[in-house]
Amino acid sequence: ADAYLHHHVVFSDHKFYEREKNWWSPMKPKGANRGVSFGAGTESRGTRQAFPSPYRFTTVKGEDSLIANVHIINTRSMEARDAHKCLECPCSSEDRMLGGNDDNVTALFSAVVPRKGSENHCNSFLLAEDNTSCSPSAYFGGLYCCEDGEYCMDAFKDDVPDKPEKSTYHLRYTIEYEPVSRDTKPLYLAACCDATGDVDLPGNIEYDIPQCAPGGEDEDCVHVLETTQTLHGASSDVFGTGGSRSEEDKYVEVVYMVGHLHRGGISVALYLNDTELLCESLPTYGSGEPGEIGNEPGYINSMSSCTFDPPLVLRTTEKIRVVGKYNSSEPHQGVMSLFYIAVSDMPQEPEDVRSRTHGGSVLVATAVGLALLAAILHWRRYDKRRQYDAVDTSINIEV
């Protein structure tokens, strides 16, 4: 293919959201106030977003235009191996001071370091394995070395003509909409989840996959990143929008979940209280011929999603375990294990509110079954006792 769509994230610049203008998001373009309900990576071509009625993402009056951050990487005339490396945004001489060759990193340029920030965004697991994405001193590829107009690899600079050919690409969406009614329940994105963070840290957004030991078995070549977060915790809101910026303890209705992975991704999953699977999002890789649009071999063209109808009712402070898995038979840089979670506020009810949905039918069925079993056993004992001979109470029996 001639181009790779790294990501596209859509924002609103409407003044109604001006209070959110300074909320940070790594993909937020200048002039944007708030992210809206769609945008991800190349996998979105085959990932349809649909929300059960009456849950809808809504707009405000006059919100008739949007701003898109569209990140396209030029891979024209590249062999597949070079294109695969290029789409992971390796740092070049435009980003770092190099030693003897491109892989000998000495330091990021001062212009890149402020964008990158510090390693304090990574969770303890990534820091313990000295993940190269966490620290500016070890960073050698990812979002912060993929700025507009840069070359992804120095080797291609000399091959670029003085007046390179320009290509035009169009991003098309089909959006279905309807008038807001009294029954409409507005949706927004939860802050969770980014597998690089934890309950206190927002997350690094991206991380690197070290290559497994040569000659290892298939099960040994799987890199697993696990963490624990909460729905409205410290996550960075990489899609540019979200709910509460504090740990407000309340119930919300969850209606939709979908994961975001890069090439090499195997799965990303969410578990409630460590063990109860909420959603596992799996990639579908293209299996067509090279250059076959929408079915390119080796690239993710869709992610499975989870829709909850009726909605899943969760507390915003409940612990959620995030698990991202990647194939590590070859190294990868700048990968992500993220979840996009659409939620809606709801009236706050007593503790048994969750019986409406999450586990409710199981609890009710269990209670009814136990009551019925108790009634049957009681009747059997009573019926059996009617057949016993009466004991003469005038006789003393010693045991």
pLDDT in tens, 334-346: 999 999 999 999 9
Q: Say which residue the tokens 């396209």 belong to.
A: 72
Q: How many CB atoms lie within 10 A of CB 233?
A: 27
Could you tell me the sign of the dihedral formed by the alpha carbons of 147, 77, 70, 285, in that order? negative
What is the pTM for the complete model shown?
0.80
Please give the full DSSP string across 131-176, using - where no structure is assigned.
Answer: -TTS-TTT--BSGGG--TT--S-GGGGGGS-SSPPP----------
Q: How far apart are CA 84 and CA 80, in angstroms?
A: 6
Residue with tokens 């590590």: 328
Taking alpha carbons only, the member of 198, 185, 237, 326 closest to residue 9 is 237
Residues 178 and 334: beta-carbon distance below 8 Å: no
Residue 389 has pLDDT above 60, yes or no: no
Q: Is residue 391 classed exposed, middle or buried when 0-12, 13-18 and 19+ CB atoms within 10 A define those classes?
A: exposed
Question: What average pLDDT is seen over the chain?
Answer: 78
pLDDT on residue 377: 42
pLDDT at 314: 95
Dig out the tokens for 120 from the structure: 């304090």
Tokens 């924002």 label which residue? 11
User: CA–CA separation, 11 vs 381, rounded Å?
Assistant: 69
Nearest of 207, 229, 202 to residue 120 by alpha carbon: 202
Tell me, what's the pLDDT at 238? 55
d(CA 205, CA 131): 13
Q: Dihedral through CA 359, CA 365, CA 366, CA 369, nearest 10?
A: 180
300 secondary structure, DSSP code: E
d(CA 41, CA 260): 7
Neighbours of 45 (CB within 10 A): 16
pLDDT digits (tens, 9 = 90+) for 252-291: 999 999 999 999 999 999 999 888 999 999 999 999 888 7
Grouping H, G, I as helix, E, B as strand and the rest as coil, residue 349 is: coil
pLDDT (tens digit, 9 = 90+) per residue, 35-86? Answer: 776 777 888 888 888 899 999 999 888 888 888 888 888 888 788 888 888 8
